[in-house]
């Protein structure tokens, strides 16, 4: 097993908890592994790496590329510090530093330079969405791609820097306003994994001992069963034109 395999395996198990709580994040890793195989040179990643001790957890996937990572965390988050750093202390994590810390409104990006921009699990922390998307459009080469991964179901977190929940349909319209085209999306998760997510959130409001008992009884014991039901029952049988994803990814082109 090479170091990137170890890196991903650890991230999925101990940072994104895809095998115990949040399986919808598997889509993010599937997409990143597809994107890393593209024959392109210049890649930009907009992240919140300060939460992980100024580490870009996606930079290792593009080790042979010209990869730039920018932390778009707010000043409030910077003051709170790297409270997620404990998750990436393992020697199985490839520790690549964030290149820059910048205000998302003034990124100062090169024009017509990047082949790919990725925004993984960040956009709901950005208030002026059009400002960011317009900058991305200008900095992409013609034919360059913008990749975004976003949750549809989440608690309000990192208060007060949590502003929106998107659907791919709403985000598609915003992308079109910023001149992007050829927009496609994919869903991840469903109502059963959403139920597990909400149970996990409920457990965090209980005293530690009760929380562990709650999770053991209602989450750990039902995790595989819920995912089996999710793979088997994919259609709402009572309401048409209705889906219940946990997250989605969307890719558009300049």
pLDDT tens track of the chain, all 254 residues?
569 999 999 999 999 999 888 999 999 999 999 999 999 999 999 998 888 888 999 999 999 899 999 999 877 777 777 777 888 889 999 999 999 999 999 999 999 999 999 999 999 999 999 999 999 999 999 999 999 999 999 999 999 999 999 999 999 999 999 999 999 999 999 999 999 999 999 999 999 999 999 999 898 888 999 999 999 999 999 999 999 999 999 999 99
pTM: 0.95
Q: Which residues contact 106 (CB under 8 A, 6 or more apart)?
A: none
Write the DSSP string, 66-107: EEEEEE---HHHHHH--TTGGGG-STTS---B-SEE--GGG-
How confident is the model at residue 177, as a pLDDT?
Answer: 97
How confident is the model at residue 120, as a pLDDT?
Answer: 96
Structural domains in the chain plus CATH codes: 3-190+246-253 (3.40.50.150)
**Contact between residue 63 and residue 2 where contact means Cβ atoms under 8 Å apart:** no
Rounded to an integer, what distance in angstroms lies between the CA atom of residue 141 and that of residue 18? 34
How confident is the model at residue 171, as a pLDDT?
Answer: 98
């Amino acid at each position: 097993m090479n170091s990137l395999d170890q890196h991903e395996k650890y991230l999925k198990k101990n940072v994104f908890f895809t095998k115990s709580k949040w399986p919808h994040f598997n889509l993010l890793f599937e997409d990143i592994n597809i994107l890393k195989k593209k024959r392109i040179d210049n890649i930009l990643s907009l992240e919140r790496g300060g939460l992980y001790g100024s580490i870009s957890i996606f930079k290792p996937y593009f080790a042979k590329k010209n990869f730039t990572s920018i932390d778009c965390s707010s000043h409030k988050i910077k003051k709170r510090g790297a409270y997620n750093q404990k998750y990436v202390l393992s020697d199985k994590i490839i520790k690549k530093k964030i290149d820059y810390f910048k205000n998302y409104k003034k990124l100062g990006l090169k024009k017509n330079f990047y082949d790919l921009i990725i925004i993984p699990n960040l956009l709901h922390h950005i208030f002026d969405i059009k400002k960011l998307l317009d900058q991305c459009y200008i900095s992409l080469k013609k034919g360059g791609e913008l990749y975004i991964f976003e949750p549809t179901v989440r608690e309000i977190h990192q208060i007060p820097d949590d502003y929106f929940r998107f659907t791919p349909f709403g985000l598609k319209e915003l992308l079109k306003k910023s001149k992007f085209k050829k927009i496609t999306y994919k869903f991840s998760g469903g109502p059963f994994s959403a139920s597990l997510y909400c149970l996990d959130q409920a457990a965090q409001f209980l005293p530690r001992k009760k929380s562990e008992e709650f999770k053991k009884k209602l989450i750990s014991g039902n995790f595989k069963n819920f995912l089996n039901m999710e793979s088997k029952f994919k259609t709402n049988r009572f309401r048409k034109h209705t889906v219940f994803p946990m997250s989605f990814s969307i890719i558009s082109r300049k």
